[in-house]
């Protein structure tokens, strides 16, 4: 009597063993593959009492063999199941997608088989040492295109900084991880589909149900399923009942068609013909490579005062800049970004508001780098000394802040390089060095670098300088206009620097074409400035948010800045306090990485006539600010609240979980971020719904529609939502009414309870 059950056992083990024959890289073996090593013995497994009864019930029946695993010995060969078009795909197999440690991301694939047989798909994540760290079922989101998808993560999110205790644990998790998509024949679901129909129409019922009984018995003995002893008994009992021809067809079918079996099918399925894809590589980067909050200030303005006797401005120093660190930390920011702190040239120095003639007290632009006092490797003596800078970085680290330093690879006419390395600059036919220009714009105080004569020499010098600042405490470099230099130059420099200091991050200040932006991300720029400041209408934002939070986010990590020293848009100029808060909400919640240029809290929103930048621009003068006025505007409080929400919600971490929601009013924008329970670390899904009134002057009402089922939200009960900005609670469903007035609430940020 045991022969039939033994036949099921043999086929189950043979099917599992075949999976070990697949010629995949060692790191990409699944649990089915590795566990097969222990099942090659020709000894018959000892049957439990339950299995013995099941074997007796199946005695004398014949069944079809399950789908075997077919070896794929070459990268282009198919297995028994077809797995294609895994995304995100590596560019030419060279540049893997980039994610932060613990950042949720989406993987999709086409998975299919011939005919009408059902298939399933599983995604398996392995760390750089090939150890399986996560295994999740994929969901078919487009049956017509055989498209399956799943949200995954590589490791767990961390906020540890490179200098903090425990960072060594984080560092060991960084590097190249892999994701393998395993397609498999879903024998149970195929059987169930047909069995339900046959029982209903009373067609060939015994054969259909006996086939199901054998399937359940084989499932109970399949090691790949990872079943507990209790689960195995459940399946064995179901198989025995289904094989009992004395029962009604409906009762026999019910034994294998119920919630308990359905749950096992989801969590521990029978996977026949397992066919793995080629492992897809992901470059896993350190904390703050994607999820970061930046704060920029000019040290020479921080702590600046007016001399009561002379009426002249006394500029701040690195020592007085400690106050800026305290403010950034209090508002919840992670990174303090400093413009160039190097000596400023005198020749052709720019005056206030970019005038060509500087007055005797004009400090010049910090981007006109270099004087007789030194170049990129020197602290401007007006700011202090290298010891002062090291004290600043040490204090920043005490506050949990990273220091990002601006590195503009350009020189004033007074830079030491002009005399030491004249070959590094382009000369006109008359022998003079050409200053920077973008006709009709001219930058007479800057000499651009010419990389054609001695790029290796320039690379060596830049690497020396960056390493010097790293030793002083810098962990991030914001690179000015990297798209105006050869991509290969940055590839060489970043590779050299990160080989010695793998913790160093690079932000590209590049407003340019998509191809150049992608190339810069390939060669090591972790984050990028972007066109967010100019996306202000509902239509613009509804188009832009899914782009920056979509497939592009695997490479170009856009950082949303509402304003910068170079950018002050008409929207920020015209919409007052409400407009500042709106742009802050959109920046903080619309991208995992965002930044604020100080003075935003004080509503510094007056444009220089004819230009999209501030009047009395801080790039050309020292600003004296009265920070006691910040409280009256409430913007600093909003920034602090936004950073708190971001830190507390896993849904804010990812570039790959944003959905724009339909709204009925052209001034109301709504979007949702959702991270499934398997990836939050809390065991509960995290959902944020952001609703913003883009009009800084008028109230607007709108309905917000949510496709609850498609977005993974419950459809059988109201959603309890809490506004993280006000603490008020509401109940939401498919269609929801909102009313936002700029003098009361510019936005809602709802947490789904």
Q: How far apart are CA 435 and CA 393, in angstroms?
A: 34
Listed in sequence order, the DSSP H helices in 331-385 are none
Find, among 563, 518, 89, 3, the residue nearest to 297 by Cα: 563
CA atoms within 13 A on the CB side of 569: 16
Find, among 272, 215, 234, 236, the residue nearest to 47 by Cα: 236
Surface-to-core class of residue 715, CB atoms within 10 Å of its CB (0-12 exposed, 13-18 middle, 19+ buried): exposed
Which residues are CB-contacts of 248 (< 8 A; sequence separation ≥ 6)?
A: none
Which position among 509, 552, 604, 695 bears the catalytic label?
509
Q: How far apart are the first and last CA of the chain?
A: 55
Residue that is written with structure tokens 């009597």 in the block:
1
Residue spans of beta strands (DSSP E) within 42-174: 82-87, 97-100, 105-112, 119-126, 132-137, 139-142, 147-152
Question: Phi then psi for 610, rounded to 5 degrees?
Answer: 85, 0
Cβ atoms of 213 and 261 within 8 Å: the answer is no
Residue positions forming the annotated binding site for alpha-maltose 1-phosphate: 350, 410, 445, 481, 619-620
Which residues are CB-contacts of 472 (< 8 A; sequence separation ≥ 6)?
A: 386, 389, 390, 393
Cβ atoms of 479 and 410 within 8 Å: the answer is no
Which residues are CB-contacts of 372 (< 8 A; sequence separation ≥ 6)?
A: 414, 416
Q: How far apart are CA 491 and CA 1, in angstroms?
A: 69
Which residues are CB-contacts of 430 (< 8 A; sequence separation ≥ 6)?
A: none
Q: Check if 503 is active-site.
A: no
Which residues are CB-contacts of 471 (< 8 A; sequence separation ≥ 6)?
A: none
Our CA dihedral for 378, 380, 386, 391, rounded to 10 degrees, sits at: -140
Residue 374 DSSP class = B
Pair type for strands 719-723 and 700-705 = unpaired
Residue 575 DSSP class = S
Surface-to-core class of residue 219, CB atoms within 10 Å of its CB (0-12 exposed, 13-18 middle, 19+ buried): buried
| Proportion of the chain in helix, strand, coil states, percent, rounded to 5 | 35, 25, 40
Question: Phi then psi for 749, rounded to 5 degrees?
Answer: -125, 100
Q: How far apart are CA 604 and CA 626, in angstroms?
A: 12
Q: How far apart are CA 252 and CA 39, in angstroms?
A: 31
- Phi-psi region for residue 115, left (φ > 0), alpha (ψ -120 to 50) or beta? left
Q: What is the Rg, in whole angstroms, of the alpha carbon atoms belonging to the chain?
A: 31
Which position among 182, 186, 302, 480 bears the catalytic label?
480
Q: Check if 551 is active-site.
A: no
Our CA dihedral for 561, 563, 564, 567, rounded to 10 degrees, sits at: 120
Please state, as a whole number, how many other Cβ atoms lie within 10 Å of the Cβ of residue 665: 19
Catalytic residues: 480, 509
């Amino acid at each position: 009597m045991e022969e039939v059950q033994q036949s099921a056992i043999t086929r189950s083990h043979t099917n599992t063993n075949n999976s070990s024959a697949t010629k995949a890289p060692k790191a990409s073996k699944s649990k089915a593959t590795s566990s097969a090593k222990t099942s090659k013995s020709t000894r018959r497994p000892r049957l439990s009492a339950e299995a013995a009864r099941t074997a007796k019930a199946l005695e004398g029946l014949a069944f079809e063999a399950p789908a075997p695993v077919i070896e794929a010995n070459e990268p282009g060969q198919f297995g028994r199941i077809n797995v294609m078009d895994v995304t995100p795909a590596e560019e030419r197999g060279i540049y893997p997608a980039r994610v932060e440690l613990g950042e949720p991301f989406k993987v999709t694939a086409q998975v299919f088989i011939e005919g009408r047989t059902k298939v399933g798909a599983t995604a398996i994540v392995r760390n750089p040492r090939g150890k399986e760290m996560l295994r999740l079922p994929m969901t078919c989101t487009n049956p017509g295109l055989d498209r399956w998808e799943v949200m995954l993560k590589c490791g767990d999110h961390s906020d540890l900084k490179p200098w903090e205790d425990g960072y060594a644990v984080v560092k060991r998790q960084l590097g190249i991880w892999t994701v393998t998509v395993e397609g498999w024949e879903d024998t149970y679901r195929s059987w169930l589909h047909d069995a339900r129909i046959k029982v209903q129409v009373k067609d060939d019922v015994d054969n259909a149900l006996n086939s199901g009984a054998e399937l359940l018995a084989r499932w109970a003995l399949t090691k790949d399923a990872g079943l507990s002893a209790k689960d195995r008994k459940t399946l064995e009992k179901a198989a025995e009942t289904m094989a009992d021809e004395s029962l009604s067809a409906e009762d026999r079918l019910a034994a294998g068609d119920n919630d308990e079996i359905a749950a096992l099918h989801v969590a521990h399925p029978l996977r026949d013909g397992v066919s793995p894809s080629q492992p897809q590589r992901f470059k896993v980067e350190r904390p703050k490579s994607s999820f970061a909050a930046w704060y920029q200030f000019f040290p020479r303005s921080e702590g600046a005062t007016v001399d009561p006797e002379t009426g002249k401005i006394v500029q701040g120093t690195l020592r007085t800049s400690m106050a800026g660190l305290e403010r950034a930390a209090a508002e919840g920011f992670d990174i303090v970004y400093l413009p160039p702190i190097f000596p400023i040239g005198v020749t052709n120095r720019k005056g206030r508001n970019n005038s060509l003639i500087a007055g005797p007290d004009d400090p010049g632009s910090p981007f006109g780098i270099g004087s007789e006092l030194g170049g990129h490797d020197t602290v401007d003596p007006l700011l202090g000394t290298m010891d002062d800078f090291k004290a600043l970085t040490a204090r920043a680290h005490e506050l949990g802040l990273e220091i990002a330093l601006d590195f503009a690879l350009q020189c004033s006419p007074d830079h030491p390089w002009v005399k030491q390395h004249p070959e590094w600059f382009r000369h006109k036919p008359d022998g003079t060095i050409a200053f920077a220009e973008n006709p009709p714009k001219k930058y007479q105080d800057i000499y651009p670098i010419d990389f054609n004569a001695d790029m290796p020499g320039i690379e060596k010098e830049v690497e020396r300088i960056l390493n010097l600042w790293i030793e002083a405490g810098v962990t991030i470099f914001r690179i000015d206009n990297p798209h105006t230099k050869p991509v290969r130059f940055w590839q060489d420099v970043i590779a050299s620097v990160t080989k010695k200091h793998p913790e160093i991050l690079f932000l590209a200040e590049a407003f340019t074409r998509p191809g150049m932006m992608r190339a810069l991300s390939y060669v090591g720029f972790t984050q990028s400035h972007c066109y967010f400041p100019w996306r202000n209408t509902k239509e613009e934002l509804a188009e832009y948010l899914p782009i920056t939070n979509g497939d592009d986010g695997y490479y170009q990590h856009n950082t949303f800045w509402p304003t910068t020293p170079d950018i002050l848009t008409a929207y920020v100029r015209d919409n007052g306090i409400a407009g500042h808060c709106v742009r802050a909400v959109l920046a903080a919640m619309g991208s995992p990485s965002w930044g604020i240029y100080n003075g935003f809290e004080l509503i510094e929103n007056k444009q220089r006539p004819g230009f999209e930048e501030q009047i009395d621009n801080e790039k050309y003068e020292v600003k004296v600010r009265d920070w006691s006025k910040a409280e009256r505007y409430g913007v600093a409080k909003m920034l602090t609240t936004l950073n708190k929400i971001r830190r507390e919600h896993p849904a804010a971490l990812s570039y790959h979980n944003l959905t724009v929601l339909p709204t009925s009013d052209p001034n109301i924008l709504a979007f949702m971020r959702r991270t499934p329970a398997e990836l939050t670390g809390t065991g509960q899904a995290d959902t944020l719904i952001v609703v913003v009134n883009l009009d800084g002057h008028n109230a607007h009402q709108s309905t917000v529609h949510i496709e609850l089922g498609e977005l993974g939200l419950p459809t059988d009960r109201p959603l309890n939502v809490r506004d993280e900005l006000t603490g008020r609670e509401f109940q939401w469903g498919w269609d929801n009414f909102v009313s936002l007035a700029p003098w009361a609430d510019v936005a809602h940020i709802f947490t789904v309870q």
